[in-house]
């Protein structure tokens, strides 16, 4: 990790049932609210991540 570079947070979401994967850049707060294997509703606007609501 380079302390001179800003941290970037990304998450990959798998759309069901198709299995298509989409990757978005998130804020640190949004990223930390996620856990591996969560299911729920992904909301995007164009190619921008808006929110993820756990089921």
List the chain pLDDT tens, one digit each, 55 residues. 667 778 899 999 999 888 899 999 999 999 999 999 999 999 999 999 999 999 9
Q: Name the nearest CA neighbour of 47 among 30, 28, 22.
A: 22
Q: What is the pLDDT of residue 18?
A: 87
Q: What is the pLDDT of residue 35?
A: 96
Q: How far apart are CA 40 and CA 47, in angstroms?
A: 19
| Torsion angle of C-alpha atoms 32, 37, 21, 41, degrees rounded to 10 | -70
Q: Are 43 and 53 in contact (CB under 8 A)?
A: yes
Q: What is the pLDDT of residue 19?
A: 87
Domains of the chain, residue spans = 9-54
């Amino acid at each position: 990790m380079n302390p001179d570079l800003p941290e970037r947070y990304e998450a990959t979401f798998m759309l069901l049932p198709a299995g298509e994967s989409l990757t978005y850049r998130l804020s640190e707060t949004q990223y930390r609210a996620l856990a591996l294997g969560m299911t729920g509703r992904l909301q995007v606007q164009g190619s921008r991540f808006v929110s993820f609501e756990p089921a």
